[in-house]
Amino acid sequence: MDKFREECGVFGIFGHSEAANLTYLGLYALQHRGQEAVGIATSDGGRLQVHKALGHVADAFDESTIKRLGGMSAVGHVRYSTAGDSGLKNAQPILIDCAHGEIAICHNGNLVNAQELREWLVREGSIFQTTSDTEVLLHLYARSKAGSPEQAIIESVSQAQGAFSLVLLTRDRLIAVRDPHGFRPLTLGRLGDAFIVCSETCALDLIDAEWLRDVEPGEVLIIGPEGMKSIRPFAPARHAHCIFEHVYFARPDSFVFETSVNETRTEFGRQLARESPVEADVVVPIPDSGVCAATGFAEQAGLPLRMGLIRNHYVGRTFIEPHQAIRHFGVRVKLNPVRSILEGRRVVLVDDSIVRGTTSKKIVRMVRAAGAREVHMRISCPPTISPCFYGVDTPQRAELIREFIGADSVSYLSLEGLLQSVGPRRSSYCTSCYTGRYPVAVPQNQAAYLQLALKLAQ
Ligand code: SF4
């Protein structure tokens, strides 16, 4: 669908006899954050082992693979490639052996100075195995003369700028690090005596773990046989949590940045109805992305909420397209309109974002073809501006989008409305997607500048 792609998901557990299995389940819950590659590394207290594969969690692991990954601690990663290409060599965890011993790293985020660091490291003689920016951290780690693996991690990560939520596994420690801005989420949980660190709380729910708190921006957690230690080795920085986690990236059943995604997203919908009311008969979410906001919109507008579009959940794999032309086939294979709900009605379609507008255009046409009298599009975030969507040239003004997608009206939630909806901590969010102003300077002279902005997001 016409959306931002999700970013990576990380999971780490220390002190559980089923560490690999629980990591597998945690990654299963985080699958929405990346579907290109998956991997798990475990430690039995002596050696680390890793298994990585392209594709989905359920396809990459079977019982025998999980059994082979023995040990009481594990880290795992689901990847959507935001930096480096998407082949298996860039899948994580990346496992290396060096003077500090073996270490496996899982990273959610992108380093804006990775290229600079990489060029310097290559000049110094480093040989890179991957094109991923995460490997830069491992080279810095391996070169560190610090007296312990923990100190070497801090020394290497201190040289990185940008977004990093990391889980690292050594022979006898699980270490979590979150950048001082706190761009990407990272949260802490507990299952019996075991500690868990992961991207979203939905991963804790699946394994019946208790949520304790977020790993704070700039915090390093060192979890070992002696318990958990928290240190704050970095200079404090302005918090810049990615607001897009609340708009779209995270699952609605998660808490991110210690706030319920469902509640925030529903409030986006309420606020949208306050800002852009419309005479209509029914509110219809574009599933699944528009459901929370549509619920809030309908509640605030006093209109019925009906599932006028049904999503086929089994799409994704290849299918054989017919030679015969079928109207709206491309979108209909994913969404089918419910004529009994749409026919003769003035319909408000609610979605969480429009990136290029091409899918929205097809949906509007399909809803009209199913008999809707009017189609009004309401979007529960402000229009994104170019640096955050791969340089695709998107019409920014609602009127251009309205004409392009062929709706009777189009309204976006305002930036002020978005910030009002996230509550009292509004100044701790990054909204650069909507403003083009970045909390961490990105190198403007690079050809990849537009992409870097998005990488920073992820
Ligand atoms: S630029 Fe957008 S996607 Fe990136 S961190 Fe900021 S809000 Fe999130």
Q: Which protein residue has the closest C-alpha to ligand 1 atom 5?
A: 457
How remote is the CA of residue 97 from the centroid of ligand 1, in Å? 34
Looking at ligand 1, which atom is closest to the CA of residue 434? 2
Distance from Cα 183 to the centre of ligand 1, integer Å: 8
- Residues 34, 6 contacting (CB under 8 angstroms): yes
State the pLDDT confidence band at 453, using cuts at 50, 70 and 90.
very low
Please state the rounded mean pLDDT for residues 420-439: 84
Choose the weakest-confidence range: 229-243, 257-271, 276-290, 442-456: 442-456
Cβ atoms < 10 Å from Cβ of 45: 11
List, for residues 24-61, the tens digit of each pLDDT value: 999 999 999 998 899 999 999 999 999 999 999 999 99
- Among 141-155, 318-332, 341-355, whose mean pLDDT is lowest? 318-332
Per the model's pLDDT, the better-predicted residue between 283 and 110 turns out to be: 283
Higher-confidence position of 330 and 146: 146
Q: Do 195 and 204 form a contact (C-beta atoms < 8 A)?
A: no
Q: How far is the CA of 115 from the centre of ligand 1 (A)?
A: 20
Q: Where are the alpha helices (DSSP H) in 126-217?
A: 134-143, 149-157, 201-206
Classify residue 225 by burial, with Cβ atoms within 10 Å: 0-12, 13-18, 19+: exposed
* Residue nearest ligand 1's atom 2 by CA: 433
In the predicted structure, residue 454 carries a pLDDT above the cut 70: no
pLDDT band, very low/low/confident/very high, at 107 (cuts 50, 70, 90)? very high
Q: Which atom number of ligand 1 is nearest to the Cα of residue 432?
A: 1
Q: 218 or 359: which carries more pLDDT confidence?
A: 218
**Number of the ligand 1 atom closest to the C-alpha atom of 242:** 8
Q: What is the pLDDT of residue 443?
A: 52
Say how many Å lie between the CA of residue 50 and the centre of ligand 1. Answer: 31
Catalytic residues: 8
446, pLDDT greater than 90:
no
DSSP track, 285-300 = E-TTTTHHHHHHHHHH
Compare 73 and 353 and report the one with higher pLDDT. 73
Instruction: Give the whole-angstrom CA distance, residue 242 versus residue 245.
Output: 6
pLDDT digits (tens, 9 = 90+) for 149-207: 999 999 999 999 888 999 999 999 999 999 999 999 999 999 999 999 999 999 999 99
Split at pLDDT 50, 70, 90, the class of 222 is: very high
Task: Answer with the residue of higher pLDDT: 326 or 257.
Answer: 257
225 vs 319 pLDDT, higher one: 225
Q: Whose CA is nearest to atom 4 of ligand 1?
A: 457
Confidence at residue 386, expressed as pLDDT on a 0 to 100 scale: 46
Minimum-distance ligand 1 atom for the alpha carbon of 4: 3
Instruction: List pLDDT tens digits, range 281-316.
Output: 999 999 999 999 999 999 999 999 999 999 987 766
Over the chain, what is the mean pLDDT?
A: 88
Question: According to the model, what pLDDT value does residue 318 have?
Answer: 58
Dist CA 318 CA 217 (whole Å): 41
Decide if pLDDT at 336 tops 50.
yes
Query: What is the share, in percent, of the chain residues with pLDDT greater than 70?
Result: 87
* Range 210-230 average pLDDT: 97
Q: Return the number of other C-beta atoms located less than 10 Å from residue 447's C-beta.
A: 7
Pocket test for ligand 1, best of 82, 431, 438, 451 (most atoms within 8 A of CB): 431
Higher pLDDT, 320 or 132: 132
**438 pLDDT more than 90:** no
- Choose which residue among 242, 257, 422, 435 to substitute to test ligand 1 binding: the one with the highest number of ligand atoms within 8 A of its C-beta: 242
pLDDT average, residue stretch 364-369: 95
Position 1 pLDDT exceeds 50: no
Does residue 98 carry a pLDDT above 90?
yes
Helical pair 114-123 and 134-143, crossing angle rounded to 10 deg: 40
Q: Could you tell me the distance, in angstroms and rounded to a whole number, from the CA of residue 189 to the centre of ligand 1?
A: 26
Pocket test for ligand 1, best of 430, 437, 454 (most atoms within 8 A of CB): 430
Task: Give tens-digit pLDDT for 112-133.
Answer: 888 899 999 999 999 999 988 8
What pLDDT is stored for residue 383 in this prediction?
83
Q: Which residues line ligand 1 (CB under 6 A)?
A: 183, 242-244, 388, 430-433, 456-457
The minimum-distance atom of ligand 1 relative to the CA of 245 is: 8
- Substitution candidate for ligand 1 out of 179, 238, 247, 432 with most atoms within 8 A of CB: 432
Instruction: Output the CA 390–ligand 1 centroid distance in Å.
Output: 13
Q: Whose C-alpha lies nearest to ligand 1, atom 8?
A: 242
In whole angstroms, what is the distance from residue 371 CA to residue 151 CA?
65
Under 8 Å between Cβ of 360 and 354: yes
- Cα(179) to ligand 1 centroid in Å equals 14
Least confident of 295-299, 323-327, 352-356: 323-327
Token couple for 347: 């319909």
Residue 163's SS3 state is: coil
